[in-house]
Structure 1
Amino acid sequence: MPAPAIILVSADHLDVLEAEFTHRYAHDYDLRCATTCAEAEQIAREICDAGGLVAMFVTDSRPVDQPSVLHAFAAWRSVVPQARRLVAAHWDHFLDDAPSLRAGMAKGKYDAYLLMPRGARDEEFHHAVTDLLSDWGASVPDPEVVSVKIISPSHDPLTLAIRDFLDRMGMPNRVWHPEDPHIQQFLTQFPDRTYPFVYSPQRSGLSATSVRDVAHHIWGRPSDFKIDDVIDMAVVGGGPAGLAAAVYGASEGLSVVLLEAEAVGGQAGTSSMIRNYLGFPRGISGMRLAQRARNQALRFGTTFLTGWDVDTLEVGRDGAPHVVRTEGGEVRARTVVISTGVAYRKLGVPSIEDLVGRGVNYGAALTAAREMEGYDVVVVGGGNSAGQAAVHLSRFARSVSIVVRRSGLGETMSQYLVDEIAYNDRITVVPRTRVVDGGGDGALEWLCLEDVDTGERTTKQARGLFLLLGAEPRCDWLPEELVRDRSDFVLTGRDVPRELWVDDLPPANLATTVPGIFAAGDIRSGSMKRVAAASGEGASVVPLVHAYLAPAPED
């Protein structure tokens, strides 16, 4: 396959852009130049018609054949919706054009607004470019650099689930058909394989029967790790709260083990782009945020046990440590941080549940989004996760319908996402509606939608259904001593019933009813259900752990 293209567009400053991009990117990308927006659109169409890929459009802020660069991006997006879009304004125009263009960036009309390089080694400019190209590369079905090979004769639910897990763990992967001539010699090493077959250079090959098989194969069992007899802090759950607790705890000298049943990042890890997280003006995908936090925690000494459900938590008594038990071993800890987050609620429609993994997905399922190219899809949910999923799906699907029971999205979704969705002509909001039925021949083909006010039903063709229906806590493994609210969220601090306070004083803000056990993030009763809030709680729990572990004063 030819190298992916970067299309540079400028009538007056093309020489500056071409020189800068040639020095940095000509080895790995096919650089194309255009002086008008119409010419750039034609180049993109020719590349796509030939089976090639367009990774990015880079344009100055003043096109000669469009009233605004935003009109150009709209036209280019209709040709290549997956390409990243960058404005590199000339220094003579940067300040004057910024007010009118930055509002468009907030609505997702393009990805970044930068000052055109004025000389050599403008690393801030190129850092933004490479970040955008990296995000684009993560959305390509067949990446150039492959960490894990998957051999499978079909895109069955298990193969898709394995790919989604590996994507969320930041491991580039690719699927080959067993009869692909390029891998025949490779397959002779594994004559007894069954499918899907997963190969990682570090761990050889595996005939997988579940996603957990893959996690254990690549990252090992708890018994494979040398863990001290009793550690300072066990973190259960690897979402933003758990990752923050691991980073801050390990960086301050605590021995930390983090256990995660699925992919590190939790629900936040499935977000295609979080644009309102502090410190990332161009946004960051949930997967990248989670992997950066994981690497940070590893650097400080955190041990990660990935793919292991915690079966029970045994409360330590009379000074004994708490015990976190899994099928593959146990972890004994002086303190435990519960940050298991929440699960999406089930739709409860039998015909829909039967098609999970065959067009029906709980959560954003970023890998499944790539399978939706050219099809109509439906997203159910009105929160930020649903909005982010819809925006991401619009890069691939022909149309995206957001189905919500409320009258709109404004009550439950951040305004920047509401604005971005309103701008996107591929996304339609269907208010006061619910999904009541669906079906297809072995995979989802249609859905039945019902108006919640009138009861009127309509049938809609759909190849994908993405269900992001709100939060249910994961608390079935917790001991009775940890008091929860009516919805089963863990109570902490002043929310703990007064009769359980000690000396008429409530537990600390993130402390539970069991000394030495804390809760942070979405699992906690009264939490904000936002990535930044969960990260803050994870960091805030560490001083409480230190205070609990500190020797009691003599007086």
Structure 2
Amino acid sequence: MAKPVILAVDDDPQVLRAVERDLRRRYAKDYRVLRADSGESALDTLGKLKLRGDPVALFLVDQRMPRMTGVEFLEEAIGRFPDAKRALLTAYSDTEAAIRAINEVGLDYYLQKPWDPPDQNLYPSLDELLEDWRADYRPPFEGIRVVGDRWSPSSHRTRDFLARNRVPYRWLDVEASEEARQVVANADHGSPRLPLVVYEDGSYEEAPENREIAEKIGLQTRAEQQFYDLVIVGGGPSGLAAAVYGASEGLNTVLVEREAPGGQAGTSSRIENYLGFPRGLSGADLARRAVDQARRFEVEILTPQEVSDVRVEDPYRIVTLTDGTEISCYALIITTGVSYRRLDVPGEENLTGRGVYYGAAQTEAFSCKDEDVYIVGGANSAGQAAMFFSGQASKVSLLCRSGDLRKSMSEYLVKQIEETGNIEVITNSSVSAVEGDGHLEKVTISDSVSGKTETVPANSLFIFIGAVPKTGWLDGTVERDGRGFILSGPDLMTGGKRPKGWRPDRDPFLLETSVPGIFVAGDVRHGSIKRCASAVGEGSIAVQFVHQYLMEI
């Protein structure tokens, strides 16, 4: 924790040096003593301290300064640090002004110059003030602060990125927080582009991209080597499982993840049917454990980083990253998972990130406190989100297209929902439109049985429908089905014939794609079971086929 600051302000250089000397002699061990030679420069210092989040314990200010008196300075300073103690240095003739300041600026004490000897005339009074300050002091949050607008897509993206990468941060809504407005005002030009990301060292970035944040906080975005035995594209459960098994069995392994390790499963608020965790665990906990395990086996994890292309130059498979760099390997496993299908209704495009969200978006949970929340979907991910938001929202409405949740949701989850008083399940329903000026304000719900529609007020709508693979970067490389899922193993065999251009004198392995040495696992595979445990199983199995393939080359 940064030491609290004692700020001395005096325009007389000789007096200022003496004040600083005596303050350091007594308080340097527990406080940071700063000095300023004018009220203006002192306010500039306070702006920097406020931006860094450093606490100020005491102002010790000379009253008789040109351009800005001590009292005038304190009037400005207490708006930024209202809890700091205030002491005024005065000459005998300034006593009346000091007495008035007790009422005007809540002056705690005034000292007459000279104060020698300090052991009698300075320290006892300041000791008492600092002890009072310490008694009421609550240390500020020392991590990253994100200042932005709740309804800003870029603010949501930044918060989601930090949360999913397990980076502690504090969210300050510029519309609701006076502290947020002060941080914005203290930026160099007073009107920065939001979100403003303020780091622990006091530096900040305006509306940064995720990769800029990652590089600043020390996430690895670039590979340390040009060649690896195994490259894994995608950091969901299957990718992390493949990384753990591959590296633990001696393969030099790198994993490339475009957002955050854990993938879609990492956003799940609660997974209660995962083997070995009788009380359940969150997707974030699962991701954290898997990442720690992978790093223990020296897996390199690049995030946020994305693969834009892959090509084959036997015996190598070469992936190109979006920053233009390339990584070569003997074997490649694709575990990119799926994304939620777009709602595709009037108003949705303009309101995405402004009240309409895809996925659990746990970063929005506290913003939804005591509000009505709408969730679209009928599978486990939607049910888990409903249970999660029920602890914050006044009411959760779960909109399910089918007539029965049990058709697509696990029984344990259905029972939990039925037993939760503030969750309402609306079956045979879908969202047909969303409306809002700058952020979501209304949702139109359609009943597929009666044909009726109803428009209700809403600030938050979370979408958990369908599964769309993002495999466009594989065009012309590996075979996929009509929806973009990757074909592998027996699904590649047409009429008993191997894929076009297939060279090995064998059929494709179970999880091998149409290109030898390129494998697929998890939700992105054609015909996969959309469950976390099955994704983990496929990731580990894929590594066994990698070993068999490596024996051939």
Does residue 1:214 correspond to 2:210, yes or no?
no
DSSP-derived class of the 1:158 partner: helix
Cα displacement (A) at 1:486: 2.0
Cα displacement (A) at 1:422: 0.7
DSSP-derived class of the 2:365 partner: helix
Alpha carbons of structure 1 residues 167 and 325: separation in structure 2 relative to 1, 3 Å: closer
Q: Deviations over 1:463-507 (max 9, x none)?
A: 211011110111100142311112211011111133225688531
Question: Cα RMSD between the aligned structures?
Answer: 2.7
Higher mean C-alpha deviation, range 442-451 or range 333-342: 442-451
For the 8 Å contact 1:222–1:330, the answer to whether it is kept is no
Give the Cα separation in 2 of the matches to 1:277 and 1:246: 19
Cα displacement (A) at 1:146: 5.2
Whichever residue aligns with residue 240 of structure 1, its letter is P
Does residue 1:411 correspond to 2:407, yes or no?
yes
Alpha carbons of structure 1 residues 318 and 331: separation in structure 2 relative to 1, 3 Å: closer
1:117-266 to 2 correspondence within 5 Å?
Answer: 147-152=143-148, 156-176=152-172, 180=178, 194-201=193-200, 204-219=203-218, 222-223=221-222, 225-227=223-225, 229-266=226-263
DSSP-derived class of the 2:295 partner: helix
Cα displacement (A) at 1:218: 3.0
Give the Cα separation in 1 of the matches to 2:342 and 2:374: 16
Does residue 1:536 correspond to 2:537, yes or no?
yes
Whichever residue aligns with residue 206 of structure 1, its letter is E
Alpha carbons of structure 1 residues 204 and 330: separation in structure 2 relative to 1, 3 Å: farther
Q: Deviations over 1:499-542 (max 9, x none)?
A: 22568853111111101100000000111010000011111111
TM-score by structure 1 length? Answer: 0.69
Whichever residue aligns with residue 550 of structure 1, its letter is M
Q: Deviations over 1:57-105 (max 9, x none)?
A: xxxxxxxxxxxxxxxxxxxxxxxxxxxxxxxxxxxxxxxxxxxxxxxxx
For the 8 Å contact 1:212–1:307, the answer to whether it is kept is yes
Cα displacement (A) at 1:262: 0.9
DSSP-derived class of the 1:371 partner: helix
Give the Cα separation in 1 of the matches to 2:288 and 2:491: 33
Of 359, 363, 369, the residue aligned with 2:359 is 363
Alpha carbons of structure 1 residues 537 and 290: separation in structure 2 relative to 1, 3 Å: same
Give the Cα separation in 2 of the matches to 1:519 and 1:395: 38
Give the Cα separation in 2 of the matches to 1:544 and 1:151: 48
Q: Deviations over 1:215-269 (max 9, x none)?
A: 344345744x421x31011111100000111111111111111111112111101
For the 8 Å contact 1:146–1:172, the answer to whether it is kept is no
Higher mean C-alpha deviation, range 412-421 or range 164-173: 164-173
Provide the residue aligned with 2:478 in structure 1: 482
Does residue 1:519 correspond to 2:520, yes or no?
yes
For the 8 Å contact 1:250–1:256, the answer to whether it is kept is yes
Give the Cα separation in 1 of the matches to 2:334 and 2:140: 38
Whichever residue aligns with residue 304 of structure 2, its letter is G
Cα displacement (A) at 1:153: 6.1
Does residue 1:300 correspond to 2:285, yes or no?
no
Give the Cα separation in 2 of the matches to 1:289 and 1:528: 19
Give the Cα separation in 1 of the matches to 2:479 and 2:272: 35
DSSP-derived class of the 2:405 partner: coil
For the 8 Å contact 2:256–2:301, the answer to whether it is kept is yes
Does residue 1:348 correspond to 2:344, yes or no?
yes
Does residue 1:507 correspond to 2:508, yes or no?
yes
For the 8 Å contact 2:147–2:197, the answer to whether it is kept is yes
Higher mean C-alpha deviation, range 483-492 or range 453-462: 453-462
Alpha carbons of structure 1 residues 440 and 300: separation in structure 2 relative to 1, 3 Å: same
Cα displacement (A) at 1:182: 9.6
The number of residues matched between the two structures is 408
Provide the residue aligned with 2:51 in structure 1: none
* Structure 2: segments with no counterpart, 5+ residues: 1-138
Give the Cα separation in 2 of the matches to 1:252 and 1:476: 31
TM-score by structure 2 length? Answer: 0.69
Q: Deviations over 1:326-365 (max 9, x none)?
A: 2252211111110000011111113122111111101111
* Structure 1: segments with no counterpart, 5+ residues: 1-142
Provide the residue aligned with 2:452 in structure 1: 456
